[in-house]
């Protein structure tokens, strides 16, 4: 059982190690922190922390560094999350102000979060399975190529060029547009996908040009709506892993693979348990099921259209957890506010 002062000593070790990247000794703790006790007393506290496997000696020296378990205890006993400076808050407002659409907003979100933290920033797209399709447009690019534009009430915009088996005139395009609007507009992405998937592409009867064209367009729209229903991530700051490679005990390649294969990060973030503030952290060996024992991930929930998604930060276990959690929370709150204001305008 760790004493209250022992927890404070652990906090000092984590803070100093994150700042200096050097093992922390009892003398430096006494010099840097107002404990009001001798170095010998601090050494006794450090011995108790080592017995609990919260700190360890990286080599034969008097200094100690936090273990993954130590970081977990530190995060769990955070009294508060460090507030952002006015400059950091202004940066968030500037970056996220007046986005073009949802894709642009999320791209800006990860850029500002990466700049604030110096880590890899991650934002999860909200689930679009319940998003309602509000608009479908067809734009002829050539007699046999059509641009399909699909818009949902969450601000998601999809544009896809579809080939046509026949050449259509403006009247025929208008008829197709009306048919597709009737099929999908006002329905959820999930229901709309099921409707267009129900259109069977069969050999059209002689002269049945619209049937053939509708079948081709329905196939493309179904694929786009299926993507709406799938979880996706937007990331920024991957280069920060290379810059901080020395903070990792082993290889950063599993992290790079997880960034490339997003399903790993989606599963990890989906299983993290948030506290009452919507914050969560998964540290070092806790990420072993996903092959990411070298990394820590911190997340904050954000709200959109009645559902929750997550924004997060991935980096080495030696990270500034209070500041990173504060940055994730602040950006998530601003993102939620922007999305709520956009919903209200609709």
Say how far apart CA 246 and CA 317 lie, in whole Å: 12
State the first-to-last Cα distance of the chain, in angstroms, to the nearest integer: 55
Residue 39 has pLDDT above 60, yes or no: yes
The predicted structure's pLDDT at residue 142: 87
Q: Report all structural domains of the chain as residue ranges with CATH numbers, in order of start.
A: 4-76 (1.10.10.10), 86-126+231-345 (3.30.450.40), 133-229 (3.30.390)
Q: Is 287 helix (H, G, I), strand (E, B) or coil?
A: helix
Q: State mean pLDDT over 282-304.
A: 94
The structure's pTM equals 0.76
* Average pLDDT score, the chain: 87
Say how far apart CA 191 and CA 131 lie, in whole Å: 10
Task: Tell me the pLDDT tens digit for each residue of 104-147.
Answer: 889 999 999 999 999 999 999 877 666 788 999 999 998 888 99
Question: What strands, in cross-sheet order, belong to the sheet with 295-304?
Answer: 233-236, 120-124, 307-316, 295-304, 279-283
Task: Tell me the pLDDT tens digit for each residue of 151-174.
Answer: 887 677 889 998 988 888 888 889
Task: Determine how β-strand 157-163 pairs with β-strand 233-236.
Answer: unpaired
């Amino acid at each position: 059982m760790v004493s209250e002062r022992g927890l404070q000593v652990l906090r000092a070790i984590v803070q100093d190690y994150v700042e200096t990247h050097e093992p922390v000794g009892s003398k430096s703790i006494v010099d840097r922190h107002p404990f009001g006790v001798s170095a010998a007393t601090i050494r006794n506290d450090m011995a108790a922390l080592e017995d609990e496997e919260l700190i360890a000696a990286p080599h034969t020296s008097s200094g100690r560094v936090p273990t993954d378990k130590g970081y977990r205890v530190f995060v769990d006993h955070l009294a508060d999350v460090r507030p952002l400076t006015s400059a950091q808050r202004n940066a968030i407002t500037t970056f996220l102000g007046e986005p073009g659409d949802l894709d642009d907003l999320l791209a800006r979100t990860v850029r500002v979060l990466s700049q604030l933290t110096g880590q890899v920033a991650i934002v999860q797209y909200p689930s679009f399975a319940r998003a309602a399709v509000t608009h479908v447009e067809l734009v002829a690019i050539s007699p046999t190529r059509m641009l399909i534009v699909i818009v949902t009430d969450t601000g998601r915009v999809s544009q896809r060029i579809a080939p046509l088996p026949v050449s259509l005139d403006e009247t025929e395009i208008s008829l197709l547009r009306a048919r597709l609007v009737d099929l999908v507009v006002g329905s959820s992405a999930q229901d709309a996908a099921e409707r267009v998937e129900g259109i069977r592409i069969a050999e059209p009867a002689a002269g049945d040009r619209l049937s053939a064209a509708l079948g081709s367009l329905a196939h493309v729209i179904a694929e786009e709506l299926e993507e709406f229903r799938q979880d996706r991530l937007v990331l920024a700051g991957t280069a920060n892993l290379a810059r901080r490679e020395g903070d990792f005990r082993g290889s950063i390649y599993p992290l790079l693979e997880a960034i490339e294969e997003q399903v790993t990060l989606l599963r990890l973030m989906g299983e993290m348990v948030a506290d009452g503030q919507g914050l969560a952290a998964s540290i070092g060996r806790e990420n072993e099921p996903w092959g990411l024992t070298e990394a820590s991930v911190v997340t904050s929930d954000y709200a959109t259209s009645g559902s929750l998604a997550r924004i997060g930060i991935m980096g080495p276990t030696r990270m500034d957890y209070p500041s990173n959690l504060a940055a994730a929370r602040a950006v998530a709150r601003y993102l939620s506010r922007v999305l709520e204001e956009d919903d209200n305008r609709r």
